[in-house]
Structure 1
Amino acid sequence: MTPIAPLLTAFLREHMPRQRGYSAHSCEAYATCFRLLLTFAADRLKTRPSRLALEAIDAAMVLAFLAHIEQDRGNSPATRNLRLAAIKSFMRYVEFQCPSALAQVAQIDAIPGKRHDHKLIRHLTMPEVRSILDAPDISTRPGIRDRAMLHLCFAGGLRVSELVGMTMNRVTLQPSPSILVFGKGRRERSLPLWKETARDVRAWLAVRGNPPVPELFVNAGGMAMTRAGFEYILEKHGATATQKCPTLVGRKLSPHLLRHSCAVLMLQATRDIRKVALWLGHADIRTTEVYLGMDPSEKLEAVEAVLPPTLRRGRFKAPDALIASLMTNAHAEPT
């Protein structure tokens, strides 16, 4: 029997960050998947997770785990597929470390992803975004910070990790305001800032002080802002914004919703999906094509560009009422 603990530890601490260059956020997401998997397997086998053997994580166990996270934890098929992808990635690593597990790895690798509905991504309208950006009280230091964070997140189409990880040396305000974003897949991109966004960032820098961390945005204790901290800020000001913008009532706000809203705005303004992909930092333009389905103006242009077919006009003549009733009775089943 092959202990799984050393293999998994080497995969998460050596292979992913050092050999593959995965970010800390990606390693954390993978660790969450395996924590759920090993806890599930240990409960089924009545043992401790640290004593599990590699042979225990076979195709049958993986399928049972995938069914568990959907049925018992209420995860979506998309989340189920992400968990499966993480497990397959680990098994491909195991394939080189333990050649004796080739058959086991092949069986797990053959598990297909689950097809699911792809719904349109929701986004905010410009009046809704404006209500959220105007919600912070900019007469206070926290309000100045919150306005700058919300504005930069929306205007840059930033992921929350890109926003809270933004450091002071990546912000340029002279001569042309811009930010250098260190994004997903260890890719950098430079984004110019609107004058209004740069003004809010300058206002924050004027009251930021000299905290002991290099991040641009800090919390009340002077430490780097966290993902949870920004999500709380967005939720708080979203609740305030609903008082002036009724269409926000019942909407679930998230940092990624601001990113989606920026993408739709950019698409409507540029009519160029490639520019939107560059702005968002997508490595594959197919990822950006989802926003084409969200913008109805693209379909309107297609309708206006094509002449509809000329059809023969006719006049509808209602059937005789008595004949129609007899037809209905003739098709009725006998009782």
Structure 2
Amino acid sequence: MADYIVTERCLARNTQKSYRDTCTLLLPFISAKVRKPTDRLDVEDIHPSRVLHFLAHLEEDRGCSVQTRNQRLTAIRSFARFVASRDPARLAWCAQIRSIATKKAAPEPISWMTRKEMEALLAVPDRQTPRGRAEHALLLFLYDTRARVSEATMLQVDNL
């Protein structure tokens, strides 16, 4: 599975870690439910109803957000896709796992910095050093233009 994630899917390192963490949580959970050691689990032990219980456990018992729950579900779906690509006899199992719906999450309210907070942030860089002046200028630019970081990183001297 690790080779699949790294070489075939070319997933980012943080995604790889997230998938690893999902397995670290899921497998012991399933193992306890089916009363089998983790190393003796079969793919069918990861039944859709158990996956749903796992996802509920994340939210209710571990206090995870809906976004974290959905992220863990994405990792489980990726595992199902991996299994199906290696063992076509398990396509039905894969389809059941991949049909588990993500949960809708209310968008986080956008909070803006108060003037005092922005002034405190602008006071942090040491403007006596070249780096401090550059950081201060960048913060002022981002604040004054309301530019997104992606927009600021694509900015060229000609644009100024």
Structure 1 residue identity aligned to 2:122: R
User: TM-score scaled to structure 1, two decimals?
Assistant: 0.39
Q: Note the C-alpha offset of 1:280.
A: 6.2
Q: Which runs of 5+ in 1 are unaligned?
A: 1-10, 137-143, 152-194, 199-261, 282-335
1:40 matches 2:32: no
1:14 matches 2:3: yes
1:111 matches 2:103: no
Give the 3 Å change call, closer, same or farther, for CA 110–280 of structure 1 in structure 2.
farther
More divergent stretch after superposition (14-23 vs 48-57): 14-23
C-alpha distance after superposition, 1:229-282 (max 9, x if no partner): xxxxxxxxxxxxxxxxxxxxxxxxxxxxxxxxx6xx637516x66xx434468x
User: TM-score scaled to structure 2, two decimals?
Assistant: 0.77
Q: Note the C-alpha offset of 1:28.
A: 1.1
**In 2, Cα distance between equivalents of 1:50 and 1:279:** 49
What residue in structure 2 maps to residue 269 of structure 1? 145
Give the 3 Å change call, closer, same or farther, for CA 122–33 of structure 1 in structure 2.
farther
Give the 3 Å change call, closer, same or farther, for CA 121–17 of structure 1 in structure 2.
farther
Q: 2:96 is paired with a residue of what secondary structure?
A: helix
RMSD: 2.9
Structure 2 residue identity aligned to 1:127: E
Q: Which runs of 5+ in 2 are unaligned?
A: 155-160
More helix by share: 2
Q: Note the C-alpha offset of 1:62.
A: 0.7
**In 2, Cα distance between equivalents of 1:61 and 1:268:** 50
Q: 1:68 is paired with a residue of what secondary structure?
A: helix
What residue in structure 1 maps to residue 56 of structure 2? 67
What residue in structure 1 maps to residue 78 of structure 2? 89
Give the 3 Å change call, closer, same or farther, for CA 121–30 of structure 1 in structure 2.
farther
> Structure 2 matches for 1:57-206, cutoff 5 A?
57-122=46-111, 124=113, 125-131=117-123, 133=124, 195-197=133-135
Give the 3 Å change call, closer, same or farther, for CA 279–20 of structure 1 in structure 2.
farther
**In 2, Cα distance between equivalents of 1:97 and 1:22:** 19
Structure 2 residue identity aligned to 1:266: L
Percent of pairs with identical residues? 30
Q: Note the C-alpha offset of 1:102.
A: 0.8
**In 1, Cα distance between equivalents of 2:110 and 2:38:** 38
Q: Note the C-alpha offset of 1:25.
A: 2.4
Aligned residues: 146
**In 2, Cα distance between equivalents of 1:14 and 1:44:** 28
Q: Note the C-alpha offset of 1:85.
A: 0.9
> Structure 2 matches for 1:154-303, cutoff 5 A?
195-197=133-135, 266=142, 268-269=144-145, 276-279=149-152
Q: Note the C-alpha offset of 1:81.
A: 0.7
Of structures 1 and 2, the larger Rg is shown by 1
More divergent stretch after superposition (33-42 vs 112-121): 112-121
Give the 3 Å change call, closer, same or farther, for CA 93–197 of structure 1 in structure 2.
same
